[in-house]
Amino acid sequence: MSKIISNVENVRRAIVAAAERAGRDPREVTLIAVTKTRTVAEIQEVIAAGVTDLGENRVQELKEKWSALGTAPTGHLNGNLNWHLNWHLIGSLQTNKAKQAVEMASLIHSVDRDALADELSKVAERLGRPVDVLIQVNVSGEATKHGVSPEGLVPLLKRISQQGRLRVQGLMTIAPLDSDPEAARPHFRALRHLAEEVRELELPGVEMKHLSMGMSGDYQVAVEEGATLVRIGTAIFGPRS
């Protein structure tokens, strides 16, 4: 068994344990393998382990890997039949790359401002179909992080709801880096509480189905706090060279 496949199994076991500690169904949690800087061969090992949700930070790198691996079922891959890839754009998105992102990504995690929401709405209108997105919230307030402020979340959601072309599926956040995973817990809990408040507003086209939170160092805490999408890179692929 390859190291990558073994790591995937370890992460899955940890997700199950974390979900069970919180009294959750582990099947509510989707593992997204973050493929930033990783080779196609490495990604194929992840797919062989049954991970078909893949996350990219940059549109250009997404384009390269999407072209190499595609999305449609392709028959056999290391014994697996009919795999189908869901690509997630998890990094900051420039408005001039919006169309490319929509064409390749099943879900865009990083909508955080009016201009980007407006551009994605225009793309959705031109394509004649809705676009699924998450709203990135800067819960920690760090100046170096992207994301709408908690105070700006509802106004952004109302703007999107009125336009009626984007389908908001939930929220995303990135916790501050810390050697102690517990340090992330208040940020993940705050995002969950924001989602609960938004749900009560019952805005058309706005659902709180997903909380995208948790990375290699803190995903178990994120699952305990309600994450439905965890974005794992290093814990699967090992340190980046």
pLDDT at position 1 is 65
CA triple 187-193-197, angle to 5 deg: 145
The tens place of each residue's pLDDT in the chain, 241 residues long, gives 699 999 999 999 999 999 999 999 999 999 999 999 999 999 999 999 999 999 999 999 999 999 888 764 444 444 444 458 899 999 999 999 999 999 999 999 999 999 999 999 999 999 999 999 999 999 999 988 999 999 999 999 999 999 999 999 999 999 999 999 999 999 999 999 999 999 999 999 999 999 999 999 999 999 999 999 999 999 999 997 7
Q: How far apart are CA 211 and CA 184, in angstroms?
A: 14
Contact (CB, 8 A) for 131 and 109: no
What residues does each domain of the chain span?
3-237
Q: Which CATH architecture has domain 3-237?
A: Alpha-Beta Barrel (3.20)
**pLDDT for the residue 77:** 45
> Coil, helix or strand for 37?
coil
Q: What is the pLDDT of residue 83?
A: 58
Geometric angle at alpha carbon 66, from 60 and 68, rounded to 5°: 110
Burial 87-107 (b: 16+ CB within 10 A, else e): bbbbbbbeeebbbbbbebbeb
Q: Are 117 and 160 in contact (CB under 8 A)?
A: yes
Q: Is the dihedral of CA 10, 16, 22, 24 positive or negative?
A: positive
pTM given for the model: 0.94
Q: Which two tokens stand for residue 233?
A: 């890179």
pLDDT tens digits along 101-129: 999 999 999 999 999 999 999 999 999 99
